[in-house]
Amino acid sequence: GPAWRRAWRMAASAVPAARPDPRGRPGLRAALAEHMRRSRGVSCTPDAVVVTRGIGNGLDLLAATVLRPGDRVGVEDPGWARARTALLARGMTPVPCPVDEHGLVVDALPADLRMVYTTPSHQYPLGGVLPVPRRQALLAWARRAGALVVEDDYDGEFRYDVAPLPALFDLDPETVVHLGTTSKILSSDVGVGWLVARPELAAAVARRRVDLADRTAAVSQEAVRLLLERGDLVRHVRRMRAEYARRRAVVTEELAGLPLVGDTAGLHLVVSLPPGRAERVAAEAARHGVLLDDLERHHAGPVRFSGLVIGYGAVAGRAELRAACALVRRLVADELLADDPAADAERAAGEPAVA
């Protein structure tokens, strides 16, 4: 929009630093600390913030700083495959940890993990919001195990029925590292995210970053700083939260009666289906120009959940979303009827199926 174009033009005139701060530009770190306080209830100072290129970059830098090859790291299963990829690339051993409709199952965590990666605000991909008792149990487990908790807050700004739960970091900043990104509130092309940790750990990450010759583009940092300082980003998030709530209402209305999971937050939800059905529905939908995701492919271990992951953040408009949902409903109905002998017999007889 106009605010982004204005910020980008102004940022392009910024003078590059002769020796860029590996933690990120000071003005942006201060603006992010204030943004985190207002939007996510996180109390931190700018020296606790490292500006990254996004969630994956933040996780990679943290792993390179505090872990050694072979260390075991808990990852949600099903979960974000790129987290497993980043850890494997650093020589770590990702350990699949079960989730349910509420998020990470804390009681199932092994005691020998050095770190656990989790998406408590909106579990990816099932969509559960980790309840307060589990959050407390997770932090107690981490203290007992001497492990770090990595909190991926990839779309924590978007919750619709009630206010977002406070970030894990604010409950235990000694144990939790918070990762955030502009990819959902702006665009992944912006390439700006943040890592929030206790100051001495943030400083260690910054030192390791120098060794890795890793940095975030200065122009993107300046543009995001301007958006934050002028209040443009807050206004944008407020508008988009209202728009995404309307889109969510379209999806839940059009898919009413189907088993929906994870629709209280974020920019996607899940339609639960019997095993093996989602892949066929997604393939047929793609032939009609509608892109869906198969929940089964997000598992690292045995498949425990089956269904369609339906995102509504990138759809052109609500009319297109409504049409896509109508297609999904029809394809799901056809798929479920395909193996129903009674329905087949009634169709062959030319009579309507009776529920």
pLDDT of 205 strictly over 50 = yes
Residue 354 inside a domain? The answer is no
- Domain match, 185 and 154 both: yes
Domain that holds residue 135: 2-230
49 with 202: CB under 8 angstroms? Answer: yes
- Domain match, 188 and 99 both: yes
Residue 351 inside a domain? The answer is no
Q: What percent of the chain has pLDDT over 70?
A: 94
Angle, in degrees to the nearest 10, between helices 26-40 and 232-254: 40
Q: Determine which helix (DSSP H) or strand (DSSP E) holds 32, and give its type and residue range.
A: helix 26-40
Question: Which of the two residues, 324 and 165, has the higher pLDDT score?
Answer: 324
- Domain match, 140 and 215 both: yes
Question: Which of the two residues, 268 and 205, has the higher pLDDT score?
Answer: 205
- Domain match, 116 and 250 both: no
Mean pLDDT to the nearest integer, 126-144: 95
Rounded Cα gap, residues 154 and 331, in angstroms: 30
Confidence (pLDDT) at 188? 84
- Domain match, 278 and 332 both: yes
pLDDT of 203 strictly over 80 = yes
- CATH of residue 131: 3.40.640.10
pTM of the entire structure? 0.90
pLDDT of 341 strictly over 60 = no
SS (H, E, C) 49-74: EEEECCHHHHHHHHHHHHCCCCCEEE
Rounded Cα gap, residues 104 and 292, in angstroms: 24
pLDDT of 243 strictly over 80 = yes
Residue with tokens 């959902």: 184
Confidence (pLDDT) at 31? 97
Mean pLDDT to the nearest integer, 154-175: 82
pLDDT of 325 strictly over 80 = yes
Rounded Cα gap, residues 177 and 125, in angstroms: 21
- 60-64, 286-290, 349-353, range with the lowest pLDDT: 349-353
CB-side neighbour CA atoms (13 Å) of 338:
12
- Domain match, 247 and 259 both: yes
Confidence class of residue 15 from pLDDT cuts 50, 70 and 90? confident
- Domain match, 155 and 82 both: yes
Residue 94 tokens read as 């990702």
List of residues 6+ apart from 158 with CB closer than 8 A: 122, 184, 240, 241, 244, 265, 266, 267
- CATH of residue 292: 3.90.1150.10
Rounded Cα gap, residues 33 and 167, in angstroms: 13
Q: What is the pLDDT of residues 30-56, one digit of tens each?
A: 999 999 998 888 889 999 999 999 999
Rounded Cα gap, residues 231 and 348, in angstroms: 62
Residue 158 tokens read as 């978007």
Mean pLDDT to the nearest integer, 263-284: 91
- Domain match, 255 and 222 both: no
**Count of the separate structural domains present in the chain:** 2
pLDDT of 345 strictly over 50 = no
- Domain match, 256 and 185 both: no
Smallest CA-to-CA distance from 226 within 45, 35, 66 is with 35
